Amino acid sequence: MITGSVASSYHGEPRATRDLDIVIDPDRGGIVRLVDELVSAGLYVDRDAALAAFDGRTQFNAIDATSGWKIDFLILKDRPFSREEFARRTSADLLGTTASIATPEDTIIAKLEWSAASGSDRQLQDVAAMLDVGSDSLDLAYIDRWIGDLGLRAAWSRARALQSAD
């Protein structure tokens, strides 16, 4: 499932990025096969880091040394929000390729989490842009439920303030 900046650009205001965030839910053998395929495609991937990410339900990356592009593979977390987010993914046409992508509501919640964890205002600006573009079609009750459950009220308030400032 595509998430992160590419998802927020799709659902909101496009912005330049040199990475792609993909949530995956593999078994251990799937990680090994994925790493082998990425390496055979010419990308740099640390197999031990990928296996450690699988074991710890964290992330690992693949890097294209010639272009500088990076793919962050985020192992699906074993928690209610992450499971629901993954189950709600939808299909989208991304530059002529059909891909699974996080819904706008789940992208907003994930961006709020990243902002709360990192202090990044860039994440809040992405949320504000998604609110500007899709505010009439967003399931605000769904967002509000997860904001409460995940303790994201302060980040949500800051994002909403950015939205009204534009």
**Do 18 and 68 meet the contact criterion of CB atoms below 8 Å apart?**
yes
User: When comparing pLDDT for 13 and 103, which is higher?
Assistant: 103
Q: Is the pLDDT of residue 83 over 70?
A: yes
Query: Is-contact 31 48, C-beta < 8 A?
Result: no
User: In the predicted model, what is the mean pLDDT of residues 98-107?
Assistant: 96
Full 3-state SS string of the chain: CEEHHHHHHHHCCCCCCCEEEEEECCCHHHHHHHHHHHHHCCCEECHHHHHHHHHHCCEEEEECCCCCCEEEEEECCCCHHHHHHHHCCEEEEECCEEEEECCHHHHHHHHHHHHHHHCCHHHHHHHHHHHHHHCCCCCHHHHHHHHHHHCCHHHHHHHHHHHHHC
pLDDT band at 165 (very low <50, low <70, confident <90, very high): low
Rounded Cα distance, 36 and 25, in Å: 17
pLDDT of residue 146 exceeding 60, the answer is: yes
Higher pLDDT, 56 or 132: 56
Amino acid identity at 165: A
**pLDDT, position 148:** 96
pLDDT of residue 119: 84
Answer yes or no: is pLDDT of 166 > 80: no
* pLDDT for 134: 75
Judged against a pLDDT cut of 70, whether residue 106 lies above it is answered with yes
The residue with greater pLDDT, 134 or 67, is 67
From the list 88, 99, 69, the residue with the least C-alpha distance to 146 is 88
pLDDT at res. 164:
59
Write out pLDDT tens, residues 14-70: 887 788 999 999 999 999 999 999 999 999 999 999 999 999 999 999 999 898 899
Nearest to 127 by CA among 72, 164, 86: 164
Question: What is the pLDDT, as a whole number, of residue 15?
Answer: 80
Instruction: Find, among 83, 93, 100, the residue nearest to 149 by Cα.
Output: 83
